[in-house]
Structure 1
Amino acid sequence: MQTSPDRGDDTLLQQSPLRVLVVEDNRDLAKLFCDLLQVMGCVAEAVFNVRAALDSARAKAPDLVFCDLRLPGGKSGFDFAAEMRADPELASIPLIAVSGYADGPEREKALQAGFNRVFEKPVKFAQMMEVLNSIRGE
């Protein structure tokens, strides 16, 4: 592949993949979500509860988190968002709520808890691409 001298080799440079954390208690859905994110050029990891999500976020500093609102183990996605926003190391990470009940009061509650956006399950490909492109600055 040739590049023009005035452009340099910037066309050969590739962006590093976005690191995405998926917090979802349905393991099949989590795997599907991660597989789709990987096809979209991301490095995706799934965790299944709030404690694991916080541990992973602190250890790996993801570029984006998708989180189910209704999680097992005594803590919900709302709790996760509140804990992320209270932690200075995690507070600026974009956080997208994912729920089968993403309308009305649950949407407002999610936004008040600190989620940037709320997507209804099943999440649409176009919504995911919009968020990823926004983070990539495209």
Structure 2
Amino acid sequence: MSVANDTGRSAARGVPLRIMVIEDNRDLAKLFCDLLEVMGCTTRVAFNGRSALSMVEDEAPDLVFCDLRLPGETSGYDVASVLHADPRFSHIPLVAVTGYDGPDEHRRALEAGFVRVFEKPVKFAQMMEVLHHCGGGRCAG
């Protein structure tokens, strides 16, 4: 097994990490999922906040990459608020992804409970770092 595949596995379970990607740009979501799958993860994608929350109810992921500015009524900040308020999901590390990486956006995301904030496009090395440190709920904010 390659190092990349080891990165996408939960140390506690020895199985692929289940990653949810919440991104309204379908091309970017596909690229995100393709890279995560190459690293040995399984992925699910939601294109808006409302469907993401529904999908989490069906099967909780080990880690979430979430666009902050999603279309519709439920933003990435709202997704974080709902997940952190629910004891069933509050342990799931959330990584913010944004096209607006100014200091205010970064601060607001960290205050909302995201453990990391990455500017689009997210780099492969950033994804590897997050999987290594946050996979399986082990992330130290």
TM-score by length of 1: 0.85
Q: Report the counterpart of residue 28 of structure 2 in structure 1.
A: 29
Give the total of aligned pairs.
124
Deviates more, 1:73-82 or 1:90-99: 73-82
Contact in 2 for aligned 1:58/1:89 (Cα 8 Å): no
Larger RCO of the pair (alpha carbons < 8 Å, separation 6+): 2
CA contact (8 A) 1:66 1:98 kept: yes
1:129 aligns with 2:128: yes
Q: Deviation per CA, 1:74-106, whole angstroms, max 9, x where unpaired? A: 221011111110111110100000001122100
Correspondence for 2:115: 116
- 2: CA distance, partners of 1:101 / 1:113: 16
TM-score for both structures, normalised by structure 2: 0.84
In the TM superposition, residue 133 of structure 1 has moved relative to its aligned partner by 1.2
| Offset, 1:114 | 1.2
Deviations 1:43-97 (A, max 9, x none): 0111011111111112111000000000001221011111110111110100000
Report the aligned-residue RMSD.
Answer: 1.4
Identity %: 61
The runs of 5 or more residues in structure 2 that have no matched partner are: 1-12
Q: Which is further off, 17-26 or 107-116?
A: 107-116
Q: Give deviations 1:103-126, integer Å, cap 9, x for gaps.
A: 210011111111111011110111
- Name the CA distance, whole Å, in 2 between partners of 1:22 and 1:59: 15
